[in-house]
Every structure is written in structure tokens, then in C-alpha cells.
Amino acid sequence: MKLLLDFLPLLLFFATFKYADGRPEWAAGFATEHLGFLVSGGQVPAEVAPVLLATVVVMAATVAQVVFLKATRRKVDLMLWISLALVMVMGSATIYFHSETFIKWKPSLLYWAFSLSFLINHLVLGRNLLRKMLGGELQLPDEVWTRLNWAWVLFFGAMGFANLYVAYEFSRSAWATFKAFGSTGLIVLFTLGQGLYMSRHLPEAVEGAEPGAGAEEPRR
């Protein structure tokens, strides 16, 4: 359920974009009619209408995500608050200026915010965010936690540049596909790689140990 909730805004962005991208004239007319009062000049060009409509959907989905979590008394993670702030600011700029530039930069800014969070917590506050999240479940040496933390810093930094590369070197459709599936796939693969690395450093169970083995026998 949580996984679906996390990726729902991305899936809705992609679905809306693909639907509108196949009907650019309809998308322009629909966006102008219903969103023209929010747009500079009141007219939405056909070439940017699919991105604009997808942006409106992802903004609404992210707000709904936060409202749902608050209504069900669940914790709203800091990363989701950051994502909400960025999508509202960059999304609003996308709509008003009817320019896809702002929403294209939003994923990169989000990735870089994540990267800085891991970096600042480590260098300035002396905390390891990954260890804080997983330390209660996994016991790893300090140097391993440090390596994993730096790996996330570098990964999110690289993801920010990768998003901009795809956004400006490929078509809008290719970028929308990368945003929804490519970046998600890379994050999943990276997480799996970290899991394999962690497994190599977990304390090994004593072979052949029986439950209670090693405990002192009660005195008779």
C-alpha cells in the first residue's frame, strides 16, 4: 500500500502526459478553457499543454498523498514535505509561464535536496540518516554505515544530473518515461545493490547453534 502511495503521483503524471501528448490540440483547448485564468496570457500552446496538464495532476496527487497520510494519522516523511514544496513551487511556475522548464528541473532539485540532507547530516550534525532509519533493524560496523551514506550522497547527486541530461537531450516523451520508470528503476537497482553490500557485513549467526546455546546452565 505504501509503495503504491509513494509512486502514485509519478504514475499519474506519466499517464496524463501520454494521454494528452497523443491529443495535443485537445489538450491545449482543455487546458486553456479550464486553466487559462492561471496562465500568463490566458492561452496554453499545444506543445506544452501535455506537460502542463500532467503537472496539475501530479500537484493534486502529491497534496492528496499528504492529506491522506495526515487524515489516517500516519507520519509524513521529511522527504515528502520537501517533494510537496518543490512540486507546488515549480509546478505553479510551469503553469503560470506555460513553460516545461520548471517542472523538468523539479526532480533534479529534489534529488539534490536528498543528497544535501545526507551530506549535511553527516558532516555538520554528525548523524547518519541511513543508520537512523535502519539502525534499529541492522547491526553494521560504523565504517560500513559511512560508506553507505556517501553512496547515497553521490547517487542522488548523479541522479539530478541524469534527469537534466535526459530532459534536454531527448524528447518530452522520453523524459516523461524516464521520470516515471527510468529513475524509479535506477533507485530500485541501487537499493538492491546496497542491500547486497549490507548483507556481506551483517554479523554471522553461529553455525549449529541451538536456541539458548551458550547460556549458562541453571544451577540445581
In order of 73, 75, 179, the CA distances from 92 in angstroms are 28, 26, 19
Q: What is the pLDDT of residue 51?
A: 94
| Ranges of the chain whose pLDDT falls below 70 | 1-4, 135-136, 204-220
Distance CA 1, CA 220 (A): 53
Instruction: Please give the Cα distance from 158 to 151 (Å, whole number).
Output: 10
Residue ranges of domains in the chain: 1-99, 100-203
CB atoms within 10 A of CB 90: 21
At residue 91, the pLDDT reads 94
Mind listing the pLDDT tens digit for each residue in 130-149?
A: 888 876 677 888 899 999 99
The C-alpha atoms of residue 22 and residue 117 are separated, in whole angstroms, by 39
Per-residue confidence (pLDDT) for residue 3, from 0 to 100 = 60
Q: Which amino acid is at 182?
A: G
Residue 68 CA to its chain's centroid (Å) = 18
Is 126 in contact with 145 (CB distance < 8 Å)? no
Percentages of the chain per state (helix, strand, coil), in multiples of 5 = 75, 0, 25
Q: Is 17 helix (H, G, I), strand (E, B) or coil?
A: helix
Quick one: pLDDT at residue 136?
Answer: 66
